[in-house]
Amino acid sequence: MRGTVLAAVAVTTALTLAGCAKDSGAPSGGGNASGSECKLAPKPPAAVASTTAAKTPEKADGSALKVGLAFDIGGRGDASFNDSAAAGVDKAVAELGVKKENVKELSAGPNEAESAKQTRIRQLASDGVNPIIAVGFAYADALKAVAPSFPNTKFAIVDATVEGATNVTPLVFAEEQGSFLTGVIAAYKSKKCNVGFVGGVETPLIQKFEAGYYQGAKAAAPDIKIAKKYLTPAGDFTGFQDPAKGNAAAQGLVSGGSDVLYHAAGASGKGVFTAAKTAGVSAIGVDSDQYNQKTVEQERDVIISSMLKRVDVAVFDYLLAVAKNDLTKLPKVFDFSVGGVGYSTSGGKIDADLQAVLEGYKAQIVSGQIKVSDKPTS
């Protein structure tokens, strides 16, 4: 999704001049009026092969840990966000000696009151569970209320920072970096030089996905048209659980000419995939390798890649740090440099040539030659 230093300057200019269609689903940007494939920017230099020896896995004794997982809606088995967190704990069981019987999991319910989240966290802490990992930014207020009452308990939260709570470790990601690469993929795969983005809820977190996607697409094809549609405004989290709305939004983007759709819409993404299959266009998944998810296997043929958000890596690294009693070396942000985000190649839609382009852009992001914004330009 990106270019050289000179190209990055051009991208910045393009981002300033080109707007995204907000909510209407109408295409935006300079665009290719002919509706043909994009005129692509020069490919980035090939990534230099690493000569560093493979990192030796760190070891620590986690047998004394009593691990708590406070899941978001869906819990273990959701084939997405929660399962990724669970995989990190499972790895800690296998490699750090955490005992299965010392892992306690509780899940959120649909449309539950805020007090239910506080009760869940308080229950785990009162039972002597330590550390406790809250999966999702929806737990931020609950931790702010509960964590100070348990100063000797270590907490972590995925996708949020809890200000003033010194015993709460944020596990946050550079979603904009991974999304930059999905933008590059979209630009290379579009036959109309017109792509779209579906966001579940218009929050700063989901806007990071949008911002990276936009910048990556523009880096790869400066004249590309980019449209967007959010399903619900901030505060209304039903946008993550409404496939019908995702389907309608995707249909609107396709009607506007988009032939590659990237979603960051949770369970609503199934509707995006269904619309893409019906219309004969391509789609890009999010968080986990959605090509291999049972819940969308009927639509898998349209999924050309997914932006990987490695919650499993963050959860395992956090538990490793707790087992070593040293949180100071834990990454502040899980980005490309620590394997916190990436892209999938399942399904064979990302060939070797395109993968070389993606790795070239990725190398420039890691080196700092390309700075990926975490905020939309419009």
Q: Where are the domains of the chain?
A: 67-173, 175-309+348-367
In sequence order, the 6+-apart residues with CB closer than 8 A to the CB of 298 are 277
| 313 within 8 A of 88, measured Cβ to Cβ | yes
Lowest-confidence region among 21-30, 37-46, 358-367 = 21-30
Which pLDDT score, from 0 to 100, does residue 259 have?
98
Is-same-fold flag (67-173; 175-309+348-367)? yes
Domain spanning 175-309+348-367: which superfamily?
Response regulator (3.40.50.2300)
- CA 249 – CA 323 distance, rounded (Å): 45
pLDDT band at 214 (very low <50, low <70, confident <90, very high): very high
Among 5, 29, 61, residue whose Cα is nearest residue 218: 29
Region 30-34 average pLDDT: 40
**pTM for this model (two decimals):** 0.85
Which pLDDT score, from 0 to 100, does residue 19 have?
36
Region 306-318 average pLDDT: 96
In sequence order, the 6+-apart residues with CB closer than 8 A to the CB of 175 are 205, 208, 209, 212, 264, 307, 309, 341, 374
The pair of three-digit structure tokens given for residue 50, joined into one six-digit string:
């690493």
In a 3-state reduction of DSSP, which class is residue 264? Answer: strand
Q: Are strands 303-309 and 341-343 parallel, antiparallel or unpaired?
A: antiparallel
In a 3-state reduction of DSSP, which class is residue 341? Answer: strand
The percentage of residues in the chain with a pLDDT greater than 70, rounded to a whole number, is 88
| 257 within 8 A of 27, measured Cβ to Cβ | yes
pLDDT > 60? residue 5: no
Which pLDDT score, from 0 to 100, does residue 50 have?
56
What are the backbone dihedrals phi and psi of residue 185, each rounded to the nearest 5 degrees, phi first?
Answer: -60, -45
For the domain spanning 67-173, the CATH number is: 3.40.50.2300
